[in-house]
Amino acid sequence: MLGAIEAGGTKFVCAVGDESGKIIERVQFPTTVPEETIPNVIEFFKKYPVKAIGIGSFGPIDVNKESPTYGYITSTPKKGWKDYPFVQTLKAAFSVPIGFNTDVNAAALGEATIGAAKGLDSCLYITVGTGIGAGAIVQGKLLQGLTHPEMGHILVRRHPNDEYQGKCPYHHDCLEGLAAGPAIEARWGEKGFHLVERAEVWDLEGYYIAQALMQYILILSPKRIILGGGVMKQEQVFSSIYKYLPELVNHYVVLPELSDYIVSPGLGDDAGITGALMLAHQAFQEN
Amino acid sequence: MLGAIEAGGTKFVCAVGDESGKIIERVQFPTTVPEETIPNVIEFFKKYPVKAIGIGSFGPIDVNKESPTYGYITSTPKKGWKDYPFVQTLKAAFSVPIGFNTDVNAAALGEATIGAAKGLDSCLYITVGTGIGAGAIVQGKLLQGLTHPEMGHILVRRHPNDEYQGKCPYHHDCLEGLAAGPAIEARWGEKGFHLVERAEVWDLEGYYIAQALMQYILILSPKRIILGGGVMKQEQVFSSIYKYLPELVNHYVVLPELSDYIVSPGLGDDAGITGALMLAHQAFQEN
């Protein structure tokens, strides 16, 4: 039996399951401070004979195994979690191999293994919700370099009619600053689910995401792109992306049929927790 | 003995050497039409007992080994080279394993093996010259997905004082359209080497390249970035990049010391041809 943690900024999902991605039991609770949240995690897993645990975590995190702070959540503004030794804490409680990566890399792994990119050695998973993040599988492996990708903060060109200044505390009007859920709410004055009927909201959203996809495609050339997260539940955004992306790329690279290339998660909201099971399996095998 | 071809849009370099990157003999000639250029290539290699040949080619090219047009130069506007079966032609002449990749991927491989990124499993090589292109090593392998990267055409934000419309036939003011050599000449009315004293030229150049590097860093997180090509011989551009990049990133990710992170090619102008030797070596080993 394998353990999985999807550690989000808002909620934690813990599950036990197997390497095929089958979830046997799960629980979820709000992310508060580590002193409160982590005992809940430990209590859940104490009930099961887990042989490894995989963590897909909000970040930034340190995924460099040679670093002294490997396994830490690093510079998050989230109270209590800055410089938090996530892997070490779990390891102290369970003495089993611990897999550790970003929530979005976990989701990419889940989707590449049994989801919308099953059978492909390359894919990109993007979540558009409270924030924007992405994980990637490149030549069969989770993308990692100096550190994990931070693709949500790339620069985009502002739409000439968009006067909203942007919400990112670091870059103001980067992709996340202009297109994540809180930016939509701040620009239009209401939460997204109250804006369903306003076509211009989702047209603009697709305008920004299409720009980001162009950059990702030219740089990474993924074999499939999976768009998840709360904002992407508005199907209109896909239509807007399918409209703007070909205009931007302008035949410079040949793209596959867009409705097959840029898709919703095959695992729905379970991409992250399923991927965390895969991370547990990888950790077990590497150990 | 290994053979290497650096096939550029302006000139071809052919060399023989060994797997350590040592070049024993080389020749170069202008790139005209295949009927003229390729016989020169064949004539050169006929003199040596090469056991494999590596090609780093201008593109776009088809690097997907499962594709019916693998080994072709594909949609280039360069007269005579569109849909040219490069690998097949060499294979017919020499019956040895042929390695085939982009010129910039070859350069990235050369730099990662014995150049400025020696010992690293991750680097990005960018050339800024007649065009802008980049190759990358990710987790020890040349980056490849649906196809090879086309990083020179990513979108950048125009400088508010830059009124030049851009020179890219596909995207007008993408990175290549605003920052490659021909754009510099068109914007300022003179070739780059006549503009050495004009600080504003190189400041603007660094402004655009820094934006591109921010995107590459957030998406790929390379362990070192190598900037080659004719334009980068203006050292002032590095200073401009070192100024603008930290302003853009704004501490969102922790960058290494920039003068160590963003560097000139360790192999100088030989990165591409040396990398083509490595491609030959890889092809020989895989065969």
ipTM of model: 0.96
Closest CA to B211 of B265, B159, B136: B159
Q: Which domains does chain A have, with CATH numbers?
A: 2-102+269-286 (3.30.420.40), 116-264 (3.30.420.40)
Chain mean position to CA A245: 22
Look at residue B75 and tell me whether its pLDDT is greater than 90: no
Rounded-to-integer distance, Cα B192 and Cα B183, Å: 10
Q: What's the rounded mean pLDDT across residues B245-272?
A: 96
Q: Give the angle A222-B281-B72 at the CA atoms, nearest 5°.
A: 50
Rounded-to-integer distance, Cα B30 and Cα B176, Å: 23
For B155-179, the pLDDT digits (tens) are: 999 999 999 999 999 999 999 999 9
Chain B residues inside the 8 Å CB shell of A146: 122, 217, 221-223, 256
Rounded-to-integer distance, Cα B29 and Cα B6, Å: 11
Residue of B138, B139, B155 lying closest to A215 (CB–CB): B155
**Res. B9 pLDDT band, cuts 50 70 90:** confident
- My answer on whether omega of the bond before B60 falls inside 30° of 0, hence cis, is yes
Computed over every residue of chain B, the mean pLDDT equals 96
Chain B residues inside the 8 Å CB shell of A76: none
- For residue B134, what is the nearest residue in chain A, using CA coordinates? A219
Closest CA to A177 of A108, A116, A131: A131
Torsion angle (degrees, nearest 10) of CA B45, B48, B49, B51 = -40
Rounded-to-integer distance, Cα A179 and Cα A155, Å: 11
Torsion angle (degrees, nearest 10) of CA A203, A207, A208, A210 = 120
Torsion angle (degrees, nearest 10) of CA B116, B117, B118, B120 = 170
**Res. B78 pLDDT band, cuts 50 70 90:** confident
Chain A residues inside the 8 Å CB shell of B149: 218-221
Contact B216 A211 (CB under 8 A): no
Closest CA to A104 of A69, A142, A138, A153: A142
For B185-238, the pLDDT digits (tens) are: 999 999 999 999 999 999 999 999 999 999 999 999 999 999 999 999 999 999
Say how many residues make up chain A: 287
Both tokens of A20, joined, read 């095929």
Segments of chain A with pLDDT less than 50: none
More confident call, A25 vs B79: A25
> What pLDDT was estimated at residue B76?
83
What is the C-alpha R_g of chain A?
Answer: 19
Contact B220 A221 (CB under 8 A): no
Rounded-to-integer distance, Cα A25 and Cα A32, Å: 22
In chain B, % of residues over pLDDT 90: 95
Chain A residues inside the 8 Å CB shell of B146: 122, 217, 221-223, 256
A224: left (phi over 0), alpha (psi -120 to 50) or beta: beta
Cα-based distances in Å from B177 to A272, B64, B76, B152, B168: 39, 27, 16, 9, 4
Residue type present at position A99: G
- My answer on whether omega of the bond before B30 falls inside 30° of 0, hence cis, is no
Within chain A, residue ranges assigned H as helices are 34-46, 86-94, 103-114, 175-179, 181-188, 199-220, 235-249, 258-261, 271-286
Residues facing B98 on adjacent strands: B53
The structure's pTM equals 0.96
Contact B221 A147 (CB under 8 A): yes
Rounded-to-integer distance, Cα A168 and Cα A160, Å: 19
